[in-house]
Amino acid sequence: MSADRLEIAPGVSLRDEDLKVEYSRSSGPGGQHVNRTESRVTLRFPLLDCASIGPRLRERLRSRLSHRLTKEGEILISVERHRQRLQNLREARSRLVDLLSKAAKEPKKRRKTQPTAASRKRRQRMKQALSGKKKERRFKGDEDA
């Protein structure tokens, strides 16, 4: 991973031009210093407009990260954990890479399998136990009469 590119999947990387960085005042650590410096970093990544990502991958990311997208189709990541702006920027970039790389992984195809003999027997025993429990609860009528 070079300084100006973020690798999110094998053969897929983002350029710095794809990201928009905004700075604002942080509410985190820093004492009086926090009132004067803009150390909070908000990273905006326009997923729907990014040319670095192919259409298939873009669609997978869009569906998996739909809860994180804004109305404009951007992913926002804000970091105000550290006192220095540069540390917050590094963490925001790292979080973005983690988020995108996890969402970019293709899910494994499920292979159909048969239930094992032991699991079938276990299921039968459970059903019989439940059936017996229900039989015990039934009203049997007056046995004295």
- Per residue of the chain (145 residues), what is the pLDDT tens digit? 445 678 877 778 788 888 899 988 877 666 676 677 788 899 999 988 888 888 888 888 888 988 988 899 899 999 988 888 899 999 999 999 899 888 888 888 989 999 999 999 999 999 999 999 999 998 877 665 5
The total of structural domains in the chain comes to 1
Q: For the domain that residue 78 is a member of, what is the CATH number? A: 3.30.160.20
Alpha-carbon distance of 74 to 45, in angstroms, equals 5
Instruction: Show the domain range for 46.
Output: 5-104
142 lies in a domain? no
What's the pLDDT at 2? 47
Q: Give the β-pairing of 12-15 and 5-9.
A: antiparallel
What's the pLDDT at 121? 97
What's the pLDDT at 144? 58
26 lies in a domain? yes
Alpha-carbon distance of 122 to 34, in angstroms, equals 62
**Residue position matching structure tokens 């300084």:** 3
**Quick one: 141 exposed, middle or buried, by C-beta within 10 A (0-12, 13-18, 19+)?**
exposed
126 lies in a domain? no
- Alpha carbon of 135 to those of 56, 124, 140: distances in Å? 56, 16, 10
33 lies in a domain? yes
H-type alpha helices, the chain: 55-64, 85-104, 117-137
Whole-structure pTM over 0.85, yes or no? no
131 lies in a domain? no
65 lies in a domain? yes
29 lies in a domain? yes
Alpha-carbon distance of 71 to 54, in angstroms, equals 21
Altogether, the residues listed in the chain come to a count of: 145
Give the three-state DSSP class for 39.
Answer: coil
- Alpha carbon of 29 to those of 67, 116, 143: distances in Å? 29, 57, 77
